[in-house]
Amino acid sequence: MLVPQPIASGDGFAGWQALNDTIMGGRSQGAVQTTSDGLLLQAFVEPEGGGFVSCRSPVFDPPLDLSAYGALELAVDGDGRRYKLAIACRDGLAGLTELIPGGLRWVAEFSTRPNGTSVVVIPFNRLTPSVRATPVGLPLRFDAAGVTRLQILHSKFGDMGGRNPGFRPGELQFLIRSIRAVV
């Protein structure tokens, strides 16, 4: 039996950083802090402009090989908002996706409980290819053997390009307790 593979937990989120909509002219502000409980994202989300705040891992070099697993499991303390997981993979298209501003990401939305810890399982087969919150209509395959970066966002855009029904501007506090690959 295959045991879950820890990716990060507790104070093991070294190198994770905030990435906010200011990169595209927005005014949202967010910062991350590693604590003994996990990675804490504290932010203020402005709906105008980009309308997002996020935290992302450093680039995994070598890429994570999660091909033996079928999903990621996140233990998070949310606030009833709807978030999005975005996964970057090594480029299997001769480097072409790196020419796309923002790059190709594999995304899936998830909800959180208003209080306490939510354990969310996101199957790899639920991920959809996207570039800057716009679904990509190309016949692409998720490369679980080549995961190069993880990102979690609270965005006014959902994973299918429309509005995120769980988006709420204002103050936000989000704690990622752990991320692990599961069967």
pLDDT digits 0-9 by tens, 108-137: 999 999 999 999 999 999 999 988 767 787
Q: What's the CA gap between 88 and 103, in Å, rounded?
A: 8
The model's pTM is 0.91
Give pLDDT tens digits for 75-102: 999 999 999 999 999 875 544 555 555 6
Q: Is the pLDDT of residue 160 over 90?
A: no
Class assignment of domain 5-182?
A: mainly beta
Who has greater pLDDT, 134 or 180?
180
Phi and psi based region of residue 70 (left: phi greater than 0; alpha: psi -120 to 50; beta: remaining): alpha
Separation CA 134–CA 104 (nearest Å): 10
- Residue-wise pLDDT for 44-63, tens only, equals 999 888 899 999 999 999 99
**Sequence ranges of the domains in the chain:** 5-182
